[in-house]
Structure 1
Amino acid sequence: MPNQHCPLCNQGTQYFCQDKLRSYWQCQNCALVFADRTTLLSAADELKHYQLHNNDLQDLGYRNFLQRLAQPLQQHLAQTNLSGLDYGCGPGPLLAKILQQQGQKMAVWDPFFAADKTVLNQQYDFITCSEAIEHFVQPAVEWQKWQQMLAPAGVIAIMTKRYTSLDFFQNWHYKADPTHISFFSEHTFHFLAKRDGYKLHFPANDVVIMQRIKH
């Protein structure tokens, strides 16, 4: 059964809710909520949906939106000339450009728009993931890649909207996007931080900064 095991921690799940689009399941361990895995778009339909997005590099509103992730990340890094990877950069890698302009060395990866796998074989001081983690079909696989690529005291900076409760989720516009299929809560990030050794910071209700603890 495709929904019986959590795609993030592989533990047991329970039915969460239903809307006009699909049903949702929740992990009983890490609290990830995920869309019924039998209802996912094909890769071709997923790409068509992304091509409707207008991620214009000159769009000031889009730049200001991404600054909500870039600014607390830069404060956390506290130095420049570090190596970073923007994972899931989309068709307009503006976040990488912003961080480059602020003195960091950036690589980009995206399965549809920047699929050069050589960048996945390197180590980085920080990894950013802006409005992409909610698209992951197998978040455990992507998360494990990050663990391998991240430096011992590295930072992961994620932007994704977090759900808070069943009532909140049922009326949430964020799940109406058919490519949004994995939904995180603060509890989910606390689970990952405790399991894999990170300090957590929540500078905004859709931003999390995770600092790897040196062993």
Structure 2
Amino acid sequence: MSAERRLSSPDSMKCRVCGAPGCRPFLHVQGRDYWDCRICSAVFLDPAALPSPQEEHAHYLRHRNDPDDPRYRRFLSRLAEPLLARLGPARRGLDYGCGPGPGLAAMLREKGHRVVTYDPFFAPDRSVLAGCYDFIVCCEVAEHFHEPAREFALLDRLLAPGGWLGVMTCFRTQDELFARWHYRRDPTHVVFYKEETLRHLAAVRGWGCEIPRKDVALMQKPEREEKTA
């Protein structure tokens, strides 16, 4: 897609998701410039237009996610149900980017799992980022990552061998609909993934990747290889 102006040089723009060089200008819309990665198919906002922490926080405070709301729980179950089907009993997990109402963590605890939470605004205890987890969930979080490559590297480090990373985010489909897409219009949504984006991120790490439901990816880190004498 053509663009009216550019905030960064195409020659120097690396993918914010996979790190590949040579990303292409994708679209200029409503004063915002977006880039497209030819390698992983991610689309991301130009770094110069990223919202400030203050702008992000103010926007998140408008969310009304009640952990006891049945409708909200049905929404979260899209990720919780397929993940729970793959977990053994009493696993240790991390709800990464839990937000002000960590309903997913509550639902997983109700199933007997030990779950801690992290969110830079609402649960900023960074000591949990020194742990090792059997599963990590990122529910409606990955689209907010300003440095997604760095975030996924951190999640890789936190995930135990054999562990599961569950990501739920609205997958991008048709490019021609991007300008009008409601998901793009959220000012805190700054990176957009296709199914193949998540599959690519899993493949480069040697992980498995399943898409059990629309907008849900479950990635499994392999077990440690047996050392031979």
State the TM-score, normalized to the length of structure 2: 0.90
- Whether 1:31 aligns to 2:38 is no
> Which stretches of structure 1, 4 residues or longer, exceed 4 Å deviation after superposition?
none
- Whether 1:63 aligns to 2:69 is no
Shift of the alpha carbon at 1:181? 0.2
Report the counterpart of residue 111 of structure 1 in structure 2: 120
In 2: Cα distance, 1:187 partner to 1:180 partner: 19
In 1: Cα distance, 2:78 partner to 2:135 partner: 16
In 2: Cα distance, 1:86 partner to 1:197 partner: 23
Kept in 1: contact 2:18–2:201 (CA 8 A): no
1:136/1:40 CA distance change after superposition, 3 Å: same
Choose which of 40, 43, 65 in structure 1 pairs with 2:50.
40
How far does the alpha carbon of each residue in 1:7-35 deviate from its partner, in whole angstroms, 9 at most, with x for none?
Answer: 12222200111222412101121111001
Q: Number of paired residues?
A: 214
Amino acid at match of 1:211: Q
In 2: Cα distance, 1:2 partner to 1:154 partner: 39
Kept in 2: contact 1:2–1:38 (CA 8 A): no
Shift of the alpha carbon at 1:81? 0.5
Amino acid at match of 2:77: Q
In 2: Cα distance, 1:2 partner to 1:54 partner: 39
Instruction: List aligned pairs for 1:1-215, cutoff 5 A.
Output: 1=8, 4-11=13-20, 12-77=22-87, 79-214=88-223, 215=225
Amino acid at match of 1:54: R
Amino acid at match of 1:55: N
Kept in 2: contact 1:2–1:37 (CA 8 A): no
In 1: Cα distance, 2:40 partner to 2:192 partner: 11
Shift of the alpha carbon at 1:201? 1.1
Structure 1: segments with no counterpart, 5+ residues? none
1:54/1:21 CA distance change after superposition, 3 Å: farther
Give % identity.
43
SS in 1 for 2:172: coil
Structure 2: segments with no counterpart, 5+ residues? 1-7
State the TM-score, normalized to the length of structure 1: 0.96
In 1: Cα distance, 2:156 partner to 2:79 partner: 20
SS in 2 for 1:8: coil
Please identify the structure whose Cα radius of gyration is greater.
2
Root-mean-square deviation (CA, aligned residues, Å) is: 1.3
Greater RCO (Cα-Cα under 8 Å, separation 6 or more): 1
In 1: Cα distance, 2:75 partner to 2:135 partner: 20
Kept in 1: contact 2:210–2:217 (CA 8 A): yes
Amino acid at match of 1:26: D
